[in-house]
Structure 1
Amino acid sequence: MGSRLIVGAPHEADNLLETSLREAFELLESQLNPPFSLKCRNESEYFDINKAIIYGILCEPRMGNVHIKHLHGIVMIVDELYEKLVDSVRVQLIWITLEMIDVSAIGFQGLLVALLRQIVGGDFSDKNLWLCSELVRVFLAKWDCLLEEEPLVLTSALYAFLRLLAHHCRLIDFCVRLLREQFRLCMMIGRDLVRLLQELVHVPEFRSIWKDLMLSPSEFKVPEFRDISQLYRVRTSSRYFLLRITPVMESQLRFLLSDVKFGNHRRYQVWFAKKFLGIAEKETLLIDIVRFICCSHHPPNEIILSDIIPRWAVIGWLLKCCRKNYVEASVKLALFYDWLFFDEKVDNVMNIEPAFLLMVNSMSRYIEMTHTLLDFLLLVVNNYDTERREIIVHGVQSSFDVLVRRGVIQSLDVLISSDKLFPFLKERIVKLLSERKVTSLENFQAGSFRGSTSLPDLPAAVGMEPGTFQHEMSASASQNDVELGPPTNVTSCSPLAENDDIHEQSLESLVQNLGKHIRSSKQMGVQALDKILHLYVNLSSKAETTNFSISLDQLSSIIAKEFRYSGNQLFD
């Protein structure tokens, strides 16, 4: 029996999900017509009836109004089958989305996000442009409802559409309306909102928004927003980076970074390049992939310490895949972006780790990679935002400091003392690190900057002239594959040796060394945490004043941060 849901090649085996949906529909079709049964169903029966309903809605549009009344679950079919859906089913899927929004069905926001992820950047096909256009229509048609019920899904759409605008889609009306009317909501995206808007300054509508962002923040009618530096300080949630990576691409990237050993990676990289980066227009996807790897894929310690290909090596290969200079510059900005505003209180060392390890591990065989990356970083520090350069200097200094303290590298000497590094780069990096340390970002509270008389220079990733950096052009995916070699003496958050007995340390010493104990072993981390809590409770119960003055909130923040840096997430 031919499928009414998806299009499959003759040689392909039956799709298990499609088969499951069809069989559920054939079994329960009689129960999908009025009068509806009011009996309570167990979990298995409820799951089967939802599968039957989904199949009926997609394949029987004439009965759609009847079936939709029966639907209460999240439609997850998009992630796995969307690429193969027949055209009539795709049309019906948009209708389902509109209906689910109208009735505030459970999970409609998940369906919208799943559909957003199916829009492929750099894809000019009619089907891709159609989906983009239809989703804009959905968001504009259901504006008020979404703003009231699920405002965060609007920020997801804004992030996705701003990235797509840089490529090919006409999504200006929606993006401009959301930025002008709901800027407080847009601010939740964080610092990457600035990065996306910078890529669109050549568009008149966004040039105007950029001008107000820099010179007239009051135009957005958000009293608490007084300076762009407020956005710099907000780390962008990883969920936004997933929006520009399709589910299939995500699964392949996670497989590459979790299961493929260093030395066996070439064929997987070639396959990935052919499938997802095969045409020139898709080259801009490299920006989103690098941002995803840095901010959304944080491998656990067992992967970090294994022979699995590390994140920095994959990013090195992706940089070699860049054919256009402006794309290469934007990829480098995506790699270093969190460095510019790094604040240990809100940022994760795992976001900045790949760039540093790529520079250091390239020095033995690919010193040109180190030169171009370090040169780019220094260029951005001085030119990204000259009005707020001190914030950026503080962020980069903090990045280097945290990388050393967290054990990513024992000392910066491995970088700045190398005979292979250009002397002028050594001088510039030493000068940067020796600039006056800014003790707190509180010195840069919003409103502390005087308004400029003109717009600041465009950032390096936007205003880059061709040929700024030395660039290797590659003719094929196999040529683009770069062998950076296995890690040298630099690893990612490598465990530190046990230097002292946990039980003999003071509370202050335990807190200071908690990160070291966690990275040494899980057992040592748990022992140190247990001892800290025990000592803190005992000290807090005593009337006399102790030399260790730290509040409970401060202590809990330190503990959560140290575990987070080591790849563990504690409860809020």
Structure 2
Amino acid sequence: MASKLTVRPPYEAESSLEITLRQAFYCLEPQLRPPFPLTIPTQEQYSLLNKAIIYAILSEPHLRKIHIKHLHGVITDGYGYFTSILAIIVNEIYGKLVDSAKRQLLWITREMVDVAAVGFTDLLGSLLRQIVAGDSSEDNLWLCNEMVTLFSCKWDCLLQEGSSGLTAALYVFLRLLSDHCRVSISNAPKFESLIKLEKDFCVKMLREKFGLCLRIGRDLVRLLQDLVHVPEFRAIWRDLLYAPSVFGVDEFLDISMLYYTMTPKWFFLLRVSPQMESQLRFLLTHVEHGSQLRYQDWFTKKFLSTPEKNAVLIDLVRFICCAHHPSNDIIHSDIIQRWAVIGWLLKSSMKNYITANMKLALFYDWLFFNEKLDTVMDIEPALLLMVHSIPEYIDITNSLLEFLFLLLDNYDLERKEIVLRGVSTSLHTLVRKGVVQSLEVLTRCDKLSPNLKERLAELLSGCSGFVDNSRIPTSQML
């Protein structure tokens, strides 16, 4: 008798996905026991058989070797349909799966990597998204441990079949390492072995496959900066700045080449679970301004219930800025705007270092903005948040401007002209594109700090011509 796949509260309806898989299993159960039928199934029968085998593997761990042999014998599409169903399971019901089903899911995922199944990279990405930043629960740490072990053990297979899986894993584990290293100070035994696995994988990627790492773009630098206190990454950071040739990539001549490479949107999805993404997109496409409080309260209770879980706020800001670009119809409607949601998230932060990293996530694309390569949608929320916080939340405007000037004064002093050019071009583009009619709303704001107003006026007057960073030679960009 097959066991149930999920656990759920009494008031919650059973997942339609689980029902479909279970029905397929009971419909074909006699065919799932040796000797297997030799007939060639129709397309409909093939789809049903794939679902039945998936349910069998997840619910009958003691028979998994029999079921996987059966699967190998009937596959005609390179495991594409089978793998796509596994990804749907991860995206829709992973959090509700019983522990035995989760273990089986990781086992069959490793099998799909071994056979180079069609779509296995998407499956790996779906599993990576289920690792929650700032969550120290046993289940979350177990999944993190399983995934980093998978990527380390299947290194050669993943290299042969494509690099996007390894690059995705690097992005995720660099980000998680930052959280784990901070928590380990007070709870070392729980994190020590996991941190070592994460370090070993990330360092191997950066030292041996740096060409693949470059595909992350400028956010690779942002993640590495948050690990500069870790000796292994301090050495890597030093080489990035002063000895780029040690990475063995001929075209990588200077860290500024990463600055000028925009990070592809799909990386930002890796640190936001499908459930978080669904709720945020609903908020930003269906909820009118003024009606958002109950949705925000639900989101807070569901995903931000403890100070440790606030670590995901950094990822949410990057997701909203760079991976969710609303249509013109929504921009000109009463739907709550991105800047307002980011303002709410900023006020949700309970730790200073998280707040600082959220501000960096908000302004990061300003520092290297190139109108020909970047999009104004990535930099729009920061300016609109500053403008719309006047006058009711002037403290937000002051703190954001202060942080921006802090970046101008301190971010990579040896390449300060790059940052100045990026910020200048950002301001110029935001006005020219009509995001705001004029920056006088800031320079003439009586409630704004006099020092900040003076700095802003100096910045604007000093770049009235605005250096055009679209003329950077192509050879200097990746």
Deviation at 1:435, TM superposition (A): 2.6
Aligned to 1:156: 168
1:11 and 1:314, CA in 2 relative to 1: closer, same or farther beyond 3 A? Answer: same
- 1:173-210 CA-to-partner distances (Å, cap 9, x unmatched) read 00000010000100000000000000001111111111
Work out the CA distance in 2 between the residues paired with 1:84 and 1:388. 49
Deviation at 1:444, TM superposition (A): 7.8
1:110 and 1:296, CA in 2 relative to 1: closer, same or farther beyond 3 A? Answer: same
- Of 229, 238, 242, 1:215 maps to 242
For the pair 1:252 / 2:253, whether they are aligned, the reply is no
Aligned to 1:135: 147
Task: Judge conservation of contact 1:57–1:67 (CA < 8 Å) in 2.
Answer: no
- Of 354, 357, 382, 2:381 maps to 354
For the pair 1:432 / 2:432, whether they are aligned, the reply is no
Task: Judge conservation of contact 1:229–1:446 (CA < 8 Å) in 2.
Answer: no
The code of the aligned residue for 2:135 comes to D
**Matched residue SS, 1:223:** coil
Aligned to 1:363: 390
- Of 71, 78, 99, 2:90 maps to 78
Work out the CA distance in 2 between the residues paired with 1:378 and 1:441. 23
**Matched residue SS, 2:329:** helix
- 1:481-539 CA-to-partner distances (Å, cap 9, x unmatched) read xxxxxxxxxxxxxxxxxxxxxxxxxxxxxxxxxxxxxxxxxxxxxxxxxxxxxxxxxxx
1:227 and 1:99, CA in 2 relative to 1: closer, same or farther beyond 3 A? Answer: same
Task: Judge conservation of contact 2:307–2:351 (CA < 8 Å) in 1.
Answer: no
**Matched residue SS, 2:326:** coil
Work out the CA distance in 2 between the residues paired with 1:153 and 1:336. 28
The code of the aligned residue for 2:178 comes to A
- 1:317-339 CA-to-partner distances (Å, cap 9, x unmatched) read 11111121111111000000001
Deviation at 1:10, TM superposition (A): 2.6
1:30 and 1:181, CA in 2 relative to 1: closer, same or farther beyond 3 A? Answer: same
- 1:252-311 CA-to-partner distances (Å, cap 9, x unmatched) read 111111111111111111111111010111111110011101011111112111111111
Aligned to 2:225: 198
Work out the CA distance in 2 between the residues paired with 1:444 and 1:388. 16
Deviation at 1:408, TM superposition (A): 0.9
Aligned to 2:20: 20
Deviation at 1:433, TM superposition (A): 2.2
Work out the CA distance in 2 between the residues paired with 1:403 and 1:323. 31
Deviation at 1:27, TM superposition (A): 1.1
Aligned to 2:137: 125
Task: Judge conservation of contact 2:2–2:56 (CA < 8 Å) in 1.
Answer: no
- 1:7-45 CA-to-partner distances (Å, cap 9, x unmatched) read 122332222111111001111223445545453523x44
The code of the aligned residue for 1:269 comes to Q
Identity of aligned residues (%): 57
The normalised TM-score by structure 2 is 0.90
- Of 327, 343, 352, 2:354 maps to 327
Q: How many residues are paired up?
A: 447
**Matched residue SS, 2:179:** coil
For the pair 1:146 / 2:158, whether they are aligned, the reply is yes
Aligned to 2:444: 417
Q: Comparing 438-447 with 5-14, which one deviates more in the overlay?
A: 438-447
Deviation at 1:164, TM superposition (A): 0.5
The code of the aligned residue for 2:16 comes to L
Deviation at 1:219, TM superposition (A): 1.2
The code of the aligned residue for 2:354 comes to V
Task: Judge conservation of contact 1:391–1:444 (CA < 8 Å) in 2.
Answer: no
Task: Judge conservation of contact 1:183–1:220 (CA < 8 Å) in 2.
Answer: yes
Aligned to 2:57: 57
Deviation at 1:126, TM superposition (A): 1.2
Work out the CA distance in 2 between the residues paired with 1:360 and 1:212. 40
1:447 and 1:358, CA in 2 relative to 1: closer, same or farther beyond 3 A? Answer: closer
Aligned to 2:320: 293
Task: Judge conservation of contact 1:160–1:244 (CA < 8 Å) in 2.
Answer: yes
Work out the CA distance in 1 between the residues paired with 2:90 and 2:38. 28
Q: Which runs of 4+ in 1 moved over 6 A?
A: 444-448
Work out the CA distance in 1 between the residues paired with 2:231 and 2:326. 41
Task: Judge conservation of contact 1:57–1:68 (CA < 8 Å) in 2.
Answer: no
For the pair 1:7 / 2:7, whether they are aligned, the reply is yes
Deviation at 1:429, TM superposition (A): 1.1
- Of 345, 354, 377, 2:372 maps to 345
1:213 and 1:30, CA in 2 relative to 1: closer, same or farther beyond 3 A? Answer: same
Please say which structure displays the higher CA radius of gyration: 1
Deviation at 1:395, TM superposition (A): 0.8
Task: Judge conservation of contact 1:162–1:175 (CA < 8 Å) in 2.
Answer: yes
- Of 113, 122, 125, 1:101 maps to 113
Work out the CA distance in 2 between the residues paired with 1:416 and 1:45. 69
- Of 354, 378, 392, 2:405 maps to 378
1:445 and 1:379, CA in 2 relative to 1: closer, same or farther beyond 3 A? Answer: farther
Cα root mean square deviation, aligned:
1.9
Work out the CA distance in 1 between the residues paired with 2:228 and 2:293. 38
Work out the CA distance in 1 between the residues paired with 2:246 and 2:404. 32
Aligned to 2:42: 41
The code of the aligned residue for 1:145 comes to C
Aligned to 2:184: none
**Matched residue SS, 1:55:** helix
- 1:62-121 CA-to-partner distances (Å, cap 9, x unmatched) read 133224314522222111111111111111111111111111111111111011011111
Work out the CA distance in 1 between the residues paired with 2:154 and 2:435. 47
1:45 and 1:68, CA in 2 relative to 1: closer, same or farther beyond 3 A? Answer: closer
Deviation at 1:213, TM superposition (A): 0.7
Stretches of structure 2 lacking an aligned partner (at least 5 in a row): 181-193
Task: Judge conservation of contact 2:269–2:319 (CA < 8 Å) in 1.
Answer: yes
Task: Judge conservation of contact 1:227–1:446 (CA < 8 Å) in 2.
Answer: no
